[in-house]
């Protein structure tokens, strides 16, 4: 299966984590989730975790230099030689440019940007539901949810316009069952 260097994209609550778990199994590549990295550091109260928490608790993005250094170190590891699934990075055009530089330095390329498209109303509903099911405090406050949506639209969504001229964006309808959405994603690789 060719073209296994993938970025998974979509607004908060689009189902990226759920789809990522299925996609790494399909592609047999490591799942590189900046969210998981940050949650690990926050849980363990490392210096990076404390810095990340001070931003994420307000629905803001962690500064680029911290995130970029973490991603570069991870993409330098041997297990990404056959491919990778990046989830939660890049989240801004400067991060996308930094990723291009990292990939060039490592002699890697980006094959697909899988964009799971979901409406704002759907996001609000999903995040509220996730807050009650998983107890995620960052999903419980409507003002924080709106801030996350606004942050995504203003900082992250422009990445798609950065990648579109490169011909790597694959827009996927994110409405439907988990399996229906995954079937649409899987079709990209068949």
Cα-based torsion angle of the residue sequence 128, 130, 160, 115 in order, rounded to the nearest 10 degrees: -130
Q: In the predicted model, is pLDDT for residue 2 greater than 70?
A: no
Mean pLDDT of the chain: 89
pLDDT digits (tens, 9 = 90+) for 44-62: 988 878 888 888 788 787 7
Paired with 115 in beta bridges are 9, 171
Is the per-residue pLDDT at 120 higher than 80?
yes
Residues of the chain with pLDDT > 70, as a percent, come to 97
Instruction: Please tell me the number of Cα atoms within 13 Å of 13 on its side-chain side.
Output: 26
Q: Does domain 5-184 have CATH number 3.40.50.300?
A: yes
Q: Which residues are catalytic?
A: 16, 91, 130, 136, 148
Q: Give the C-alpha separation, 41 to 176, whole Å.
A: 33
pLDDT at residue 66, as a whole number:
78
pTM reported for the whole predicted model: 0.84
Beta carbons of 16 and 88 less than 8 angstroms apart:
yes
């Amino acid at each position: 299966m060719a073209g296994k260097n993938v970025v998974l994209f979509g607004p908060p609550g689009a189902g990226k984590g759920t789809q990522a778990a299925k996609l790494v199994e399909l592609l047999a590549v490591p799942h590189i989730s900046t969210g998981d990295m940050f949650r690990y550091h926050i849980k363990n109260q490392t210096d990076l975790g404390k810095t990340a928490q001070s931003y994420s608790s307000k629905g803001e993005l962690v500064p680029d230099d911290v995130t970029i250094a973490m991603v570069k170190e991870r993409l330098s590891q041997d297990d990404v030689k056959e491919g990778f699934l990046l989830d939660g990075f890049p989240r801004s055009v400067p991060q996308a440019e930094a990723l291009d530089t990292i990939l060039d330095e490592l002699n890697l390329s980006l094959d697909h940007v899988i964009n799971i498209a979901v409406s704002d109303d759907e996001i609000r509903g999903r995040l509220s539901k996730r807050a009650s099911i998983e107890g995620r405090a960052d999903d419980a406050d409507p003002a924080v949810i709106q801030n996350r949506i606004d942050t995504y639209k203003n900082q992250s969504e422009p990445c798609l316009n950065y990648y579109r001229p490169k011909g790597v964006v694959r827009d996927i309808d994110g409405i439907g069952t988990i399996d229906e959405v995954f079937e649409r994603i899987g079709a990209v690789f068949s």
